[in-house]
Structure formats: C-alpha cells, structure tokens
C-alpha cells in the first residue's frame, strides 16, 4: 500500500509542477462534461421548435347552402384554424398542383388538400350521399424521418378536431330541430295527440331495436358461414392446384406415350422389312433351285428356306399377333406346313432310284411355297400400310387431342385456383364489412335505446300529471340545450392522463444516457493522453500489482473529477429534473469507478488493442443499451447481449434518482453494475501476465514505424 501511495502522489506532484500538463488535465476533466451538456441541451425540447417546419395547405371546398339559405364552407374554417396554429409553419398555396409540387421538390415537408365537396359531404352524409368528407395528405418521406412523425401528428390532430366539429354540428342540428318541434307543440296545443304519436314513435323505435338485434344475430350466422366458406375455398383451391399439377404430369405422360408409339411403329416397320426381305430371299432361292432342275441345288435351296422359315417364325413371335393379323398368321402357318413337307421330302433323297420322284415333289412344294410367300408379302405389306396410315396417325391424333384437352383443363384449374384465392379476399372483405356493420348497428341500437328511454320517461311523466301540466312536463323532459349536447357528443369520453414518475422535459429524460456515455468517453480520453504504466525503473521495489494500482489510483481520481463536474453541470447549469441529487452523484461516481477500472485494465493489459476494444464496446453500448429506444424495439442481437454490458445498469440507476425510486431497484442496478469490477481486476492482474511479451513486441514494432 505504501508503494501505491508513493506512485500516486508522485504522479500528482509531477502534474502540479508542469503547467502545460496541468492545463491539459483540467481540459480533460471538462471535455466529457461538455459532451454530456451539449447533448442534453440539444434534446431539451426537440418538439418545441416545430413552428419553423414548412407545411402547405389549400382548400378547394366549394361550400354548401342549407335549406334556409345559410352558406357554409368548412374548408375555409379549417384554413382559418391552420392560420392561427403556430405549431408548424403553414403555407397557404393557390392550387393542389402547387402543393404537390412543393412536397415533391422538398420545399414543404407535407401538404393538406381539402377536396371541393368536403362541406357538401359533411352536411349530406347518409342523406344524399354516402361519401365521407375527405382530406388529401401528401408527405415527403424522403426529406426527414422526424419531420414525418411531426407532420403525421399535426394532421392526425387536425383530423380529430374536424371529426369532433362534425359530430358537434350534426348533434346540434338534431337537438335544435327537436327543440323547434317542442316549441310548435307548445304553441299549437294537442298534447294528448302528441303523446299518442310519441308512444307510436316509441313502439317503432323498439321495433327498430328488435330488427337490429335480429340483423346482428343474422350477421353472426353469416359470419360463421363465411368462415366455413373461406375454409372450403382454401381447401378447394389446394385440391385445384393439385389437379392442375396432375394434369400437367398426365400431359407429360401423353408425350412419352406418343414417343413410345412412334418408336414402336419404327420397330414394327423394321421387323416387317426383315420378314419381307426373308420371304423375298426364300422365294428367290426356291425359284433359282426350280430353274436349275438339279435336285441337289433344289435341296440346298429348300434347306436354306427351312432355315429362313425358322428365323421368320422367331421374328413373328417377336411381333404382336394382334397387329400382324389372322390372315398373315394363316399364310405363315401354311409356309410352315410347306417347310415341314420339304423336310420330309429331303429326308427321302438319300433313297436310290427315287431322285426324279423326289424332285417332282420338291418342285410341287416349291410352287406352293412361292405362292404362299407372295401371299404373305402382300398380307404383311397390307398390315404395315394399315398401321402406318391408319392406326398410328389415329392414335397420334387422339393423343394430341388428349394433350390439348389436358392443357386446357390445367389452365382452367389454374384460373380456378386464382378465382378461389380471390374469393378468400372477398370473404375477408365481407367479414370486415359485417364487423363494421355490427359496430354501427350496436351504436345505433344503443342511441335508439336512449331515445326510447327518454320518450318513455316523458310520456309516463305526462300521463301522471294533470292535463294543464302535461305540456310543460313534455317540454322540460324532451327539450335540451343543442350546443351542450353537441359539445358532449363530439367528445363523449374524456381521458384523464396520469403520469407515473413524470419527467419535466426530454432533456431530463435523456440525461442518464448522455451522462453515462460521457463518463465512459472521459476514461477513454484519459487512457489516450496519460500513460497507463509507470516506469519500472523509477520504482524498482514495486511489484506488478503495486504498479497497476499505483497509476490506477490516479486514473480513478481523474475519473471522479470528470464525473463530479458533469453531475454538477447537469443539476445546476442545465437544471435537469433530479428528485435525488445525492443519489444521482453517487450512482455516477460508482459508474465512473467501474468504467475506469474496466478501461484501465484493458489498456494496461492489451495496450493500443485495449483502447480499440474499449471503443468497440462503447459503440455496441450506444446502439444497444436501451438508452434512447426501448430494448424491445432493437434487433434481436442487442436484446440478447445488452445484459453483458455495464451501460444499462448505470442508466437505469440514474433514472431512479431523476424520476423517483421504486422499492430497492436502484440497489439491484448498482450491485449488477459493480460486478463488472471483478472481470476488470482479472484482466488487469492475471490476464496481463501472458500478454506482457506480446505487448512489448507490438510496442517496439509500432515505434519502428516512427508514426505510432
């Protein structure tokens, strides 16, 4: 401990003796504070200067004249309201084209265009038209994202005001007419007749309520049916898509079948050609043998014919009997019989003295075989012509027609799938329409119930008093103040906002983030300017741990000075909201202690690489510490890793001191923050040892560059 104190006080004395170094140290103490103060001040009231935002407006409203001759132009009223609104800078242009061009060019952030039939639609909605009064809103979303949000808010507020005015106008007119009716009754008498009419009207109102109940119940049934139909349509669409795919696959099979059929035709023709060649060869041999008159030659020809006939029989077996035909098969059978006869004759040729007899028999058989061969050739050619000219073309034509039909069917199925998909959208739109209809009917039913209740109350009171007092009771019960009713129905529900842990301004809200950020930045500046390692030769008796804490103590004191200046400026210079100033300073001081030890240990162990690590960690914490945006809005990566950084705990603890404490949350946040001291000590005291040689080597190499 004595050596640590010696190193610390030596550093303080050296700094005090060097005026230039002292000035730099003072500047380093104020730099982080300036960083925090400027950022907090710039965010103090970011929406307080929206009056300079340029928005355009133009009214094309032609107005509307009531039955009593009163001219009304709501568009002009809206323009006058805009002119008196200093939240943004409204520019009133002459045409819609000028407004749109101004938005496109970037001259205006947005533009509002009031359509020419705006007033007419407002006063004739549900009477002569079903078109809602419409404002056109053009916005240049490229120019600035924050300005877009502000212009959205301005136009939304404008829309709410118009809606309130619209409801106010309509309800005022309704109750004004009702009061006029009451006046007529009072002037003309006829109270009993009017009571009877009120009762009839009340009965009709109740009938309307019952009808609406039935319609709502019917809508529920229809809604369930639509849900079922939508499910059926989706299932049918799926099956249609499967059928279309099956048809396409079948069409492909037809193509393969045509290819197989044409291949088969080629094979049949080749087989027929082989058989005809064989028959011609047989006929030629038989004729040559017959012409020679030589029994031996004839016998050789017969033997060859027998061999050819055997090959012909094998070819016939390969060919489909149904395609060859029964006639050709019969001819071939006769050829086979002739061959067998020849075989028997040739078997007798070895008997002496019977050559002439055998020759005659061979000749006779050859003549029969030649005739049969000719018949077989003609029959086979006929069959081949029938296959090539009739059967195959007909099959190809049928397959072409089948393929076309399948293609058309697939197209139909595809279009049907699209129709069914569109039906799903139609069902969704119908469902939405039913929901809107139910909402309107329920509101109307509720309003009719109120009216019916009031009429019932009025008639009951009127019947309970004498005839002279009936008119007065009816008038007092039914009459009202139109303006009062208009005000009520334009905003029937009042919202009372109650702020929990209220914050006076946005600057105070972001003060925890920028104060925490400035503390971290201040330590990085210290590590960049002041050497983290004292010279070993100056303190030969000091251990590595004493050297670490000796210079580290100086860093800690400088970090606390930076933090104190920042906190005092936040509270007394900027005057941020701070319910617990002392706790605010204590939290900041503990954050400075943690950050200083962590960054000091990184730089002490890894040198310039440690400085880079500190900067990287800073960037990650700025992006993902929930300092400005809720952590739930950030990408999933930051939602998973932010708990491993110290920023969130320091920021949350400072928010407790600024806005108000909740139970022991601040203690929990500070304990989690202080846990980062342990890894800082591990890095600085233990992890430093194996990296000493590498750091020394890197420092030498950087010095060799004469640049670092």
DSSP assignment string, 101-128: HHHHHTSSSEEEEE-TTHHHHHHHBTTT
Q: What is the pLDDT of residue 667?
A: 96
Q: Report CA torsion sign: 135, 136, 141, 147.
A: negative
Mean local confidence (pLDDT), 489-514: 72
211 pLDDT higher than 80: no
Integer Cα distance of 163 and 157 in angstroms: 10
Residue 640: pLDDT band with limits 50, 70, 90: confident
- 90 by DSSP, 3-state: which? strand
User: What confidence category does residue 572 fall into, taking pLDDT thresholds of 50, 70 and 90?
Assistant: very high
Q: What is the pLDDT of residue 15?
A: 83
The DSSP string of 352-399 is TT-HHHHHHHHHHHHHHHHHHHHHHHHHHHHHHHHIIIIIHHHHHHHH
The reported pLDDT for the residue numbered 654 is 95
Q: Which long-range contacts (CB under 8 A, 24 or more apart) does 418-427 make?
A: 420/233, 420/234, 420/236, 420/237, 420/240, 421/237, 423/229, 423/230, 423/233, 424/230, 424/233, 424/234, 424/237, 427/226, 427/227, 427/229, 427/230, 427/233
**pLDDT tier at 488 (50, 70, 90 boundaries)?**
very low
- Which is more confidently placed, 300 or 579? 579
Six token digits for residue 310: 């055997």
Q: What is the pLDDT of residues 291-347, one digit of tens each?
A: 666 666 666 766 676 666 666 666 655 554 545 455 556 656 665 666 666 566 655
| Helical residues (DSSP H) of 479-505, grouped into ranges | 482-490
Contacts of 505 (CB under 8 A, 6+ apart): 44, 45, 577
Per DSSP, the three-state class of 47 is: coil
Q: Are 138 and 100 in contact (CB under 8 A)?
A: yes
Q: What percent of the chain has pLDDT over 90?
A: 19
Contacts of 668 (CB under 8 A, 6+ apart): none
pLDDT over 90 at 386, yes or no? no
SS3 content of the chain, % helix, strand, coil (to 5): 80, 5, 15
Q: What pLDDT, on a 0 to 100 scale, did the predictor assign at position 661? A: 92
Minimum mean pLDDT range among 77-86, 175-184, 591-600: 175-184
DSSP element (H, E) containing 72:
strand 71-72
pLDDT at 203 over 80: no
- Helices 19-42 and 2-17: crossing angle in degrees, nearest 10, is 90
Give residue 512's pLDDT band: very low, low, confident or very high (50, 70, 90).
very high
In this structure, are residues 379 and 312 in contact, taking their beta carbons and an 8 Å threshold? no
| Under 8 Å between Cβ of 595 and 520 | yes
Cα-Cα end-to-end distance for the chain: 34
d(CA 275, CA 285): 15
DSSP 8-state class, residue 129: B
Q: Where are the beta strands (DSSP E) in 115-267?
A: 135-139
3-state SS class at 575: coil
Tell the burial category of 66 from Cβ atoms under 10 Å away from its Cβ (0-12, 13-18, 19+). Answer: exposed
Q: What is the dihedral of CA 463, 465, 466, 468, to 10 degrees?
A: -100
Per-residue pLDDT at 67: 75
Tokens, residue 48: 């307080």
Q: Which contacts qualify for 401-404: CB closer than 8 Å, 24 or more apart? A: 402/254, 403/251, 403/254, 403/255
Distance CA 466, CA 229 (A): 61
- Tokens 């028999």 label which residue? 361
Pairing between strand 110-114 and 135-139?
Answer: antiparallel
What the chain holds in terms of domains, given with CATH numbers, is 2-42+504-704 (no CATH), 53-187 (3.40.1710.10), 190-464 (1.10.287.950)
176 vs 698, residue with greater confidence: 698
Category of 65 on φ-ψ map: left (φ > 0), alpha (ψ -120 to 50) or beta = beta
Find which of 71-80, 208-217, 262-271, 626-635 is predicted with most confidence, using mean pLDDT: 71-80
More confident residue, 459 or 417: 459
The backbone region for 111, taken as left when phi is positive above 0, alpha when psi lies in -120 to 50, beta otherwise, is: beta
pLDDT of residue 270 exceeding 80, the answer is no
* pLDDT reading at 137 higher than 70: yes
Name the least confident of 355-364, 529-538, 546-555: 355-364
pLDDT in tens, 417-446: 555 555 565 556 556 666 666 666 676 667
Least confident span in 491-505, 582-596, 657-671:
491-505
pLDDT at residue 82 in the model: 81
Structure tokens at 564: 């104190």
Residue 458 pLDDT > 80: no
Taking a C-beta distance cutoff of 8 angstroms, is the pair 611, 527 a contact?
yes
pLDDT category at 463 given cuts 50, 70, 90 is low
User: What's the rounded mean pLDDT across residues 376-381?
Assistant: 70
Torsion of CA 45, 47, 49, 51, to 10 degrees: -160
| Mean predicted lDDT score pLDDT of the chain | 74
Question: For residue 334, how many C-alpha atoms fall within 13 Å in the half-sphere facing its CB?
Answer: 17
Q: Note the pLDDT of residue 351.
A: 39
> Between vectors from CA 649 to CA 643 and to CA 652, what angle results, nearest 5°?
125
Backbone φ/ψ region at 375: left (φ over 0), alpha (ψ -120 to 50), beta: alpha
Q: E strands of 144-183, at which residues?
A: none
- The torsion angles phi and psi of 461, rounded to 5 degrees, stand at -65, -40
Cα distances from 410 to residues 61, 249, 404, 421, 476, in angstroms, run: 54, 10, 10, 16, 75
Reported as a single tens digit per residue, the pLDDT across 23-61 is 988 999 999 999 999 988 888 877 666 777 888 999 999
């Amino acid at each position: 401990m004595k050596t640590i104190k010696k190193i610390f006080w030596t550093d303080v004395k050296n700094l005090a003796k060097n005026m230039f170094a002292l000035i730099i140290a003072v500047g380093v103490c104020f730099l982080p504070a300036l960083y925090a103060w400027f950022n907090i001040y710039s965010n103090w009231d970011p929406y307080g200067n929206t009056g300079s935002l340029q928005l355009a407006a133009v009214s094309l409203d032609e107005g509307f004249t009531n039955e009593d001759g009163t001219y009304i132009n709501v568009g002009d009223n809206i323009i006058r309201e805009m002119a008196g609104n200093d939240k943004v800078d409204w520019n009133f242009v002459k045409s819609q084209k000028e407004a749109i061009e101004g938005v496109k060019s970037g001259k205006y952030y947005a533009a509002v265009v009031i359509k020419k039939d705006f007033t007419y639609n407002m006063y004739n909605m549900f009477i002569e038209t079903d078109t809602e009064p419409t404002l056109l809103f053009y916005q240049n979303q490229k120019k600035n994202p924050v300005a877009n949000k502000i212009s959205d808010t301005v136009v939304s507020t404008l829309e709410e005001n118009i809606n309130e005015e619209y409801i106010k106008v309509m309800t005022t007119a309704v109750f004004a007419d009702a009061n006029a009716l009451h006046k007529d009754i009072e002037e003309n008498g006829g109270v009993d007749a009017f009571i009877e009419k009120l009762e009839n009207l009340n009965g009709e109102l109740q009938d309307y309520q019952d009808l609406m109940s039935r319609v709502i119940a019917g809508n529920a049934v229809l809604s369930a049916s639509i849900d079922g139909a939508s499910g059926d349509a989706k299932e049918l669409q799926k099956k249609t898509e499967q059928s279309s795919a099956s048809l396409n696959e079948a069409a492909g099979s037809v193509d393969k079948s045509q290819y197989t059929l044409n291949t088969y035709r080629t094979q049949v023709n080749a087989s027929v050609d082989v058989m005809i060649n064989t028959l011609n060869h047989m006929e030629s041999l038989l004729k040559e043998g017959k012409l020679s008159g030589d029994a031996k030659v004839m016998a050789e020809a017969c033997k060859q014919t027998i061999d050819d006939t055997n090959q012909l029989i094998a070819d016939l077996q390969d060919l489909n009997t149904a395609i060859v035909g029964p006639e050709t098969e019969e001819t071939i059978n006769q050829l086979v019989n002739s061959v067998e006869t020849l075989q028997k004759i040739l078997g007798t040729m070895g008997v002496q003295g019977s050559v002439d007899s055998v020759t005659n028999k061979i000749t006779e058989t050859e003549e029969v075989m030649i005739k049969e061969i000719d018949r077989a050739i003609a029959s086979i050619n006929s069959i081949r012509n029938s296959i090539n000219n009739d059967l195959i073309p007909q099959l190809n034509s049928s397959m072409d027609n089948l393929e076309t039909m399948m293609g058309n069917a697939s197209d139909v199925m595809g279009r049907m799938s699209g129709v069914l998909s569109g039906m799903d959208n139609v069902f969704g739109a119908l469902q939405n329409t039913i929901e809107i209809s139910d909402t309107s009917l329920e509101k109307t039913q509720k309003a009719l119930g109120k009216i019916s209740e009031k009429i019932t109350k009025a008639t009951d009171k009127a019947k309970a008093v004498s005839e002279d007092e009936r008119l007065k009771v009816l008038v007092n019960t039914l009459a009202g103040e139109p303006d009062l009713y208009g005000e009520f129905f334009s905003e029937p529900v009042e919202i009372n906002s109650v702020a929990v842990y209220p914050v006076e301004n946005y600057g105070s809200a972001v003060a925890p983030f920028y104060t925490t950020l400035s503390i971290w930045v201040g330590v990085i500046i210290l590590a960049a300017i002041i050497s983290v390692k004292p010279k070993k030769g100056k303190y030969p008796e000091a251990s590595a741990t004493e050297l670490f804490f000796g210079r580290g103590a100086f860093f800690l004191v400088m970090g606390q000075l930076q933090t104190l200046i920042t906190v005092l400026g936040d509270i007394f210079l900027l005057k941020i909201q701070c319910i617990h100033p002392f706790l605010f300073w204590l939290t900041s001081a503990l954050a400075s202690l943690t950050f200083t030890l962590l960054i000091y240990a990184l730089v002490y162990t890894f040198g310039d690489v440690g400085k880079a690590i500190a900067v990287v960690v800073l960037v990650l914490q700025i992006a993902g510490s929930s300092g400005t945006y809720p952590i739930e809005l950030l990408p999933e990566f930051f939602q998973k890793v932010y708990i491993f950084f110290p920023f969130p705990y320091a920021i949350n603890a400072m928010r407790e001191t600024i806005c108000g404490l909740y139970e022991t949350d601040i203690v929990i946040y500070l304990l989690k923050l202080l846990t980062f001291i342990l890894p800082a000590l591990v890095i600085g005291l233990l992890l430093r040892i194996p990296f000493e040689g590498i750091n020394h080597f890197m420092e030498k190499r950087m010095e060799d560059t004469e640049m670092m």
